[in-house]
């Protein structure tokens, strides 16, 4: 029997595609038949992602851009749409987490930077993508959330606040875009082994509990694929989690 490619004929944009969860989703979408427009700040990391996709027989292109720079992400998505005839799926995955201190001891510049990458970067990505998705007649926006956006945790105020904002952005966008056939959902991967979490595995387990599933980036792909393949009349404004605990 022929291989079924659930994303055949689709074009997907993935931010933060240079490594970690973003790279895994880009690879997974390409294997599912999509053409993947990979966005990240590092051209070198993007080149590696593109090479991996090409080696597996997939199709992808790199669009270097910093999501905190609105003009840059607008230009990157415009180039992607022009090159591929539009796009159908946008994964707002770019993120950072460089602080683990109390509010009292926090650095205001670092605190603001985390908000700018995680929350404002996702807003920039969605705002830049909406006209292209509307021109396509609909599509999917998948926002990379976190359990920390749903419950408090000491010393994680900037990250938690950025992800809590993402949850509400997801819900508002879903309401605004439902009439245009654009579904917007939040994907919460739970703790994942990535370059961002390397060396902090014990702290992660202590924070979320020993029963929590500490997964690899590839383990997030099936849920990302599920959200990308739902019908236009499917779920929107919802949160989907891979965690093993209440959010």
Per-residue pLDDT of 143-176, as tens digits, reads: 999 999 999 889 999 999 999 999 999 999 999 9
Cβ atoms of residues 185 and 126 within 8 Å:
no
Count of other CB atoms within 10 angstroms of residue 170: 25
Q: Retrieve residue 193's tokens.
A: 């082994």
Q: Give the domains, in start order, of the chain with CATH numbers.
A: 11-241 (3.40.50.720)
On the question of pLDDT at 1 being above 60, the answer is: no
- 245 vs 241: which has the higher pLDDT: 241
Is 207's pLDDT higher than 80?
no
Q: Which of 1, 25, 5 is nearest to 143 (CA)?
A: 25
Q: Using the predicted structure, report yes or no on whether residue 194 has a pLDDT greater than 90.
A: no
Give the predicted TM-score (pTM) of the model.
0.94
Cβ atoms within 10 Å of 180's Cβ, excluding its own: 14
pLDDT in tens, 63-105: 999 999 999 999 999 999 999 999 999 999 999 988 789 999 9
List the catalytic residues.
159
């Amino acid at each position: 029997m022929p291989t079924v490619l659930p994303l055949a004929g689709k074009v997907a944009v993935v931010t933060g595609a240079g490594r970690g969860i973003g790279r895994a989703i880009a690879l997974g979408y390409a294997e599912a038949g999509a053409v993947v427009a990979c966005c990240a700040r590092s051209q070198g990391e993007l080149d590696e992602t593109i090479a991996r996709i090409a080696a597996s027989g997939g199709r992808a292109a790199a669009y270097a851009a910093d999501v905190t720079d609105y003009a840059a992400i607008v230009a990157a998505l415009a180039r992607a749409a022009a090159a591929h005839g539009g796009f159908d799926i946008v994964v707002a995955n770019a993120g950072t987490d460089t602080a683990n201190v109390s509010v009292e001891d926090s650095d205001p510049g670092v605190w603001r930077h985390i908000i700018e990458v995680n929350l404002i970067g996702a807003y920039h990505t969605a705002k830049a993508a909406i006209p292209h998705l509307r021109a396509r007649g609909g599509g999917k926006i998948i926002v990379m959330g976190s359990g920390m956006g749903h419950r408090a945790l000491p010393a994680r105020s900037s990250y938690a606040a950025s992800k809590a904002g993402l949850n509400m952005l997801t819900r508002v966008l879903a309401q605004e875009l439902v009439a245009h056939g654009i579904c917007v959902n939040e994907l919460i991967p739970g703790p994942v082994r990535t370059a961002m979490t390397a060396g902090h595995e014990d702290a992660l387990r202590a924070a979320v509990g020993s029963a929590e599933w500490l997964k690899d980036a590839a383990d997030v792909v099936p849920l990302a694929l599920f959200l990308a393949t739902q019908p236009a009349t499917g779920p929107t404004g919802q949160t989907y989690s891979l965690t093993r605990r209440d959010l």
